[in-house]
Chain A
Amino acid sequence: MNLSLFVRRDLDIGLLSAICLGIGVGITTIYSASYNWDLGLAGNIYEKQIIWALLGSIAMVITMVIPLKLFYAFAYVLYGLTVTLLILVLELGDRRWFNMGPIHIQPSEFAKITTVLVLARFLAYPNRDLTRARAFVPPLLLVLLPILLVFKQPDLGTALVFSILILPMFFWAGASLIHLFFLISPALTLICAFHPWMLVAMVLLLIGILFYERPRLFTASILLLVNLTVAIAAPYVWENKLHDYQKRRILTFLDPDMDKLGAGYQVIQSKIAIGSGGLTGKGFLEGTQTKLAFLPEQHTDFIFSVICEEFGLIGAFFVLVLFIFILWRALSIAVQTKNRFSSFTAIGLATILLFHIFVNIGMTIGIMPVTGLPLPFLSYGGSTLITNMILVGLLLNIYANRYEDY
């Protein structure tokens, strides 16, 4: 094989450069975030992130050269393996990690990718009739399992990643928007259940759409039953079954301002950091808020605040454009590839990235709850960075083999 030809035609240089740029921005920002004015030097965590990035590159290259056929053939096996790990980590590990000396292995990270693979394999089967409710059941069960296991850890943020995966993938498979609405209707009802008027509106909307769409009687009754159960049970459980501390935990999740000390304080400080950055920012290593306002997670969850404070709106938009470019590449890879499995995989991976980006940045500017989801490629953390680079390796692999069908 002619190597130069391979590089020119089959390597998505745009995507690769964007990823490298993102990681570079991340390391620079981590350096700034751990910089100590009184001492005049930074901690050593940025050096660790460089090591993680190098390890991640190796993982990415390995993922790139494994034939996609193997991912297809072993999708269920890989899925089964990661689900087993999720069970084992609850029983034997630390509920979230396996501790192997200094290295923590977090199976939920890998489970995201294997769940995408297994869903892609299921949906890639040529004659899935997604006008029938029955076709939705097996993939729903496939995601429900990791959701429950991750929820038990408990890691609500990651559980949401799994739940959201299914919508774009169903849509890509040809499901209509109305069916997707049916799918998320229990979640909407859950939110509306605490507000009588919103609940009435929700029920009317659901019934209206049911009349318009006229699904089979069985499907319609199941839908109504599930929604009614949720509407009735949610306030009951809230009033009678939850302890005060559990209610408080849910309320602070939805509204960080309630927790003046933890999440609320972080969000307030993050907004001050971002707002005070202005158009051009305060300059590299000059962020007073990030240095003195004591955001404890500034090198992980709140890395975006550091960028905004030191490089202003220009820096923020630069990062946003970088992410839009990466997601656009993922989407066009999904369009271009001939193979259905690859196409679904690309959509699923793009969804994972988009959800992390939106929830993390939304959290720093106070429009999303504080979930602890990191910002892809930028946040400090070995297992997240490596997983994201594996994910990109998969996208690059799909791009390189976009004309190949198997």
Chain B
Amino acid sequence: MQNDFTYNGIRARRARILFGIMAFLFGILGIRLYMLQIVEWEQYRIKSEKNTMQPVIIQANRGLIRDRNGIILVDNRPSYNISVIPPRFLANIEEGKCNGLLERLGQIVDLPCETITEKLQSPNRHYYDPINLKRDVDFEAISIIEENRYDFPGVEIQIEPRRGYPIFDTPSEISTESSHARHNASHSFPLAPHTLGYIGLINASQYSRLKTEGYRYDDHIGKRGIERLFEDRMRGHKGVKYIEVNARGREVGSFPEKTDPPIPGEDLSLTIDWRVQHAAEHAFADSMRGSLVAMHPQSGEIIAIVSKPGFHPRSIRDPKAWQLLQTDPSNPLLNRSLKGEYPPASVFKMITSVAALDMGILKADEYRLRPCTGGMVFGGRRFRCHNKRGCGTINMRQALVKSCDVFFYQLGLKVGIDNWHRYAAMFGFGELTNIDIASEGDGEARGLLPSRAYYKQRHGFLAGGNMLNLTIGQGELLATPLQVARYTSTLATGQLPTPHVIKGAQGETTSLPISKEVIKTVRSIMIDVVNSPGGTGHRARLPDIVVAGKTGTAQNPHGEDHAWFVAYAPAENPRIAIAVIVENGGSGGLVAAPIAQKTLEAYFEHALPKPKRTNELFVVNNQ
């Protein structure tokens, strides 16, 4: 059979079969056309000559976004648009001239005549569909048009739902929007703009791709964050009512019984607690750049997620404000929690400690390493401790509490890069967290966890000095605030959760192959960091809840150091794990720890059930 090409007869026979199939398909089309145009012609002719029904869209309400307690974060409220039905309007103006009706309308909507006539040329629409000239117009313009309806043929006022932010929407903010698009006075702006995202006008290529799914050329669509990722669930399904139009398209009646009501979109509930989110956002001073991520360590539920500076989601409706946001050097549109990559600095020292403890290299209270004299020489280079006067002979506990670098240089060399990398990878560094609000382009950064192979490939060799920098969380190491928060959760529970923001979207949790004793020991040290006298994290203490934490101060070749702080509480029964970074903030203990403290305070003020209050202020664990 495979030789059919040599025998042309077989090929011709197959061609005849294919031609037969083709003729059959065209036959179906032909018969159907004959039925429509000849047999049923009379019926269709009457339909086309009679007054016809024209559909009018009824917008569906977009789903609301609520916080974990059901408080509404994002809702819908009406806004007014001035629109024009082109054929009716154009019939009343002189072509190519800017006078009369066109001029008056131009003054009301504040647009030049050419822009208006240009807008009326859009081909992607039903012939008698109104075209939006201006959205969000004020009451003054509305009343001028309402009062003089008969002077404005073809001009209509339409009500369109707009996203509202009930908790912090103050009327004054709308007028100052363009000048203060950036979150400086954060109290008058909605919470978590990076996570919630915003909606905007559909663009040409989205429209062409989505028109078969019921989108119109002037619809809104989720552009970023949750609004974008859950567009399909939240948008709902438009309804339609029918009006009767005569052969020239004029409305002459309606068909109320044919109305198909719209189906509202699904509401979304988040794991975020707006009270904690609110406290966290306010704990950052207005001038600060940075991020905070707080999560429930066992489930991975995000309780608060902050990226500073923020922005007002509605700025997208104002091109000038939007332009300012996009060119702002502090990059307010960047979601630092998921996409900001920073060296984790001293908060990373627990990795080296866990590795050393778990492998039995060193016990927490052993004095086996050489004393810190403010620095050490390695490979012909001097590596400094941030404590220039030296920390003396110390054990691991003291080294973490004082955040001594020299101790960790030595410990890092004992652990070695391969083991260090193995343990760091267990805590999820260098890997995506797979948080549910990062997919399809709104993604998260991976960070960078260098391995021996990485150095070989990148530099051709691994220098000993590289390991020294890595063990104190510097060098080429990078992590996102979300990764660091997840790492803190894992330090609290020994399990690596998958973070999520949508209620019920819980992902998998992996138990780390590390002994419970190691987790316990590290916990007792982290308690000391916050609670022992002179501990670097003392600014995160709470009056009667034991907080475990660690500070970090990341050296930054481009400017002031970045301030880190991680913590979880209550230490013995962790309910919240938190990571804070303030870009160029300086010392972690000084700048970042108070932010974590305010957030923890807000959490425990509202948390149910109330955690047991401990009377001991701190647990001293020096055997």
Q: Do residues A291 and B127 form an inter-chain contact, with CB atoms below 8 A?
A: yes
Query: Knowing A43-B121, A273-B48, A275-B40 touch, does A131 contact B5 (C-beta < 8 A)?
Result: no
Is B11 an interface residue when CB atoms closer than 8 A count as contact? yes
Chain B residue with the shortest CB-CB distance to A282: B48
Query: Knowing A99-B205, A245-B233, A261-B57 touch, does A361 contact B29 (C-beta < 8 A)?
Result: yes
Alpha-carbon separation in the docked complex, A312 to B121 (Å):
29
Is A122 an interface residue when CB atoms closer than 8 A count as contact? no
Interface residue ranges of A132-187 to B (CB < 8 Å): 153, 155, 168, 171-174, 176
Q: Do residues B41 and A278 form an inter-chain contact, with CB atoms below 8 A?
A: yes
Query: Knowing A294-B129, A361-B29 touch, does A316 contact B48 (C-beta < 8 A)?
Result: no
- CB 8 Å contact bits of B27-41 with A (1 = contact, 0 = none): 011101110111011
Chain B residue with the shortest CB-CB distance to A92: B441
Is A8 an interface residue when CB atoms closer than 8 A count as contact? no
Q: Do residues A272 and B127 form an inter-chain contact, with CB atoms below 8 A?
A: no
Q: Do residues A299 and B2 form an inter-chain contact, with CB atoms below 8 A?
A: no
Of A331, A332, A340, most buried by chain B (CB within 10 Å of CB) is A331
List the A side residues contacting B43 at CB < 8 Å.
Answer: 275
Chain A residue with the shortest CB-CB distance to B213: A249
Query: Knowing A278-B45, A361-B29 touch, does A316 contact B37 (C-beta < 8 A)?
Result: yes
Is A370 an interface residue when CB atoms closer than 8 A count as contact? yes
Alpha-carbon separation in the docked complex, A371 to B417 (Å):
56
Query: Knowing A171-B14, A275-B37 touch, does A289 contact B48 (C-beta < 8 A)?
Result: yes
Is B465 an interface residue when CB atoms closer than 8 A count as contact? no
With beta carbons under 8 angstroms apart, the residue of B15, B34, B49 that contacts A313 is B34
Distance of A121 from chain B, by nearest CB (Å): 15
Q: Do residues A43 and B209 form an inter-chain contact, with CB atoms below 8 A?
A: no
Interface size on B, residues (CB 8 A): 68
Query: Knowing A272-B48, A296-B126 touch, does A94 contact B209 (C-beta < 8 A)?
Result: yes
Q: Do residues A313 and B37 form an inter-chain contact, with CB atoms below 8 A?
A: yes
Q: Do residues B2 and A367 form an inter-chain contact, with CB atoms below 8 A?
A: no
With beta carbons under 8 angstroms apart, the residue of B26, B40, B240, B245 that contacts A320 is B26
Distance of B545 from chain A, by nearest CB (Å): 41
Is A36 an interface residue when CB atoms closer than 8 A count as contact? yes
List the B side residues contacting A95 at CB < 8 Å.
Answer: 209
Q: Do residues B36 and A275 form an inter-chain contact, with CB atoms below 8 A?
A: yes
Interface residue ranges of B191-240 to A (CB < 8 Å): 205-206, 208-209, 211-214, 232-233, 235, 237-240
Is B425 an interface residue when CB atoms closer than 8 A count as contact? no
Alpha-carbon separation in the docked complex, A183 to B205 (Å):
35
Is B124 an interface residue when CB atoms closer than 8 A count as contact? yes
Of A36, A97, A259, most buried by chain B (CB within 10 Å of CB) is A259
Chain A residue with the shortest CB-CB distance to B258: A260
With beta carbons under 8 angstroms apart, the residue of A246, A295, A316 that contacts B232 is A246
Is B23 an interface residue when CB atoms closer than 8 A count as contact? yes
Alpha-carbon separation in the docked complex, A130 to B232 (Å):
44
Q: Do residues B25 and A275 form an inter-chain contact, with CB atoms below 8 A?
A: no
Q: Do residues A171 and B18 form an inter-chain contact, with CB atoms below 8 A?
A: yes
With beta carbons under 8 angstroms apart, the residue of B19, B36, B87, B124 that contacts A274 is B36
Q: Do residues A358 and B240 form an inter-chain contact, with CB atoms below 8 A?
A: no
Among A49-57, A204-212, A322-330, the stretch that binds chain B is: A322-330
Chain A residue with the shortest CB-CB distance to B259: A260
Q: Do residues B2 and A128 form an inter-chain contact, with CB atoms below 8 A?
A: yes
Q: Do residues B48 and A354 form an inter-chain contact, with CB atoms below 8 A?
A: no
- CB 8 Å contact bits of A270-294 with B (1 = contact, 0 = none): 0111111111000000001101111
Chain A residue with the shortest CB-CB distance to B8: A335
Alpha-carbon separation in the docked complex, A190 to B247 (Å):
45
Is B416 an interface residue when CB atoms closer than 8 A count as contact? no
Is B119 an interface residue when CB atoms closer than 8 A count as contact? no
With beta carbons under 8 angstroms apart, the residue of B15, B125, B260 that contacts A334 is B15
Of A130, A262, A288, A289, most buried by chain B (CB within 10 Å of CB) is A262
Alpha-carbon separation in the docked complex, A278 to B35 (Å):
10
With beta carbons under 8 angstroms apart, the residue of B29, B123, B238 that contacts A358 is B29
Query: Knowing A294-B126, A308-B37 touch, does A104 contact B205 (C-beta < 8 A)?
Result: yes
Q: Do residues A316 and B1 form an inter-chain contact, with CB atoms below 8 A?
A: no
Of B19, B23, B124, most buried by chain A (CB within 10 Å of CB) is B19
List the A side residues contacting B238 at CB < 8 Å.
Answer: 261
- CB 8 Å contact bits of A26-54 with B (1 = contact, 0 = none): 00000000101011000101000000000
Of B32, B54, B232, most buried by chain A (CB within 10 Å of CB) is B32
List the A side residues contacting B45 at CB < 8 Å.
Answer: 275-276, 278
With beta carbons under 8 angstroms apart, the residue of B5, B30, B91 that contacts A38 is B91
Distance of A142 from chain B, by nearest CB (Å): 19
List the A side residues contacting B30 at CB < 8 Å.
Answer: 317, 320
Is B90 an interface residue when CB atoms closer than 8 A count as contact? yes
Distance of B113 from chain A, by nearest CB (Å): 17
Interface size on A, residues (CB 8 A): 82
List the B side residues contacting A308 at CB < 8 Å.
Answer: 33, 37
Q: Do residues B213 and A276 form an inter-chain contact, with CB atoms below 8 A?
A: no
Chain A residue with the shortest CB-CB distance to B212: A372
Q: Do residues A261 and B240 form an inter-chain contact, with CB atoms below 8 A?
A: yes
List the A side residues contacting B5 at CB < 8 Å.
Answer: 340, 343
Q: Do residues A354 and B38 form an inter-chain contact, with CB atoms below 8 A?
A: no
List the B side residues contacting A271 at CB < 8 Å.
Answer: 36, 44
Chain B residue with the shortest CB-CB distance to A370: B212
Q: Do residues A335 and B41 form an inter-chain contact, with CB atoms below 8 A?
A: no
Alpha-carbon separation in the docked complex, A349 to B4 (Å):
20
Q: Do residues A365 and B33 form an inter-chain contact, with CB atoms below 8 A?
A: yes
Alpha-carbon separation in the docked complex, A248 to B245 (Å):
30
List the A side residues contacting B14 at CB < 8 Å.
Answer: 171-172
Is B52 an interface residue when CB atoms closer than 8 A count as contact? yes
Q: Do residues A94 and B206 form an inter-chain contact, with CB atoms below 8 A?
A: yes
Is A243 an interface residue when CB atoms closer than 8 A count as contact? yes
Is A404 an interface residue when CB atoms closer than 8 A count as contact? no
Alpha-carbon separation in the docked complex, A381 to B197 (Å):
34
List the A side residues contacting B127 at CB < 8 Å.
Answer: 291-292, 294
List the A side residues contacting B12 at CB < 8 Å.
Answer: 335
Is B55 an interface residue when CB atoms closer than 8 A count as contact? yes
* A-to-B contact residues, CB < 8 Å: 34, 36, 38-39, 43, 45, 94-97, 99, 104, 126-131, 153, 155, 168, 171-174, 176, 243, 245-246, 248-249, 259-263, 265, 271-279, 288-289, 291-297, 299, 308, 312-313, 316-317, 320, 323-324, 327-328, 331-332, 334-335, 340, 343, 347, 354, 358, 361-362, 365, 367, 370-372
Other than A36-B87, A277-B37, A347-B18, give 6 A-B pairs with Cβ distance below 8 A: A316-B37, A324-B26, A331-B15, A334-B15, A335-B8, A335-B12
Question: A-B pairs with the 5 shortest C-beta distances?
Answer: A275-B44, A294-B126, A276-B48, A38-B87, A261-B240
24 contacts between A and B (CB under 8 A): A94-B206, A127-B2, A128-B2, A153-B209, A173-B2, A174-B4, A260-B55, A260-B260, A261-B57, A261-B214, A263-B212, A271-B36, A272-B47, A275-B41, A276-B45, A278-B38, A279-B41, A292-B128, A292-B247, A292-B249, A294-B129, A320-B30, A323-B26, A372-B211
* B-to-A contact residues, CB < 8 Å: 1-2, 4-5, 8, 11-12, 14-15, 17-19, 22-23, 25-26, 28-30, 32-34, 36-38, 40-41, 43-45, 47-49, 52, 54-55, 57, 87, 90-91, 121, 123-129, 205-206, 208-209, 211-214, 232-233, 235, 237-240, 245, 247-249, 260
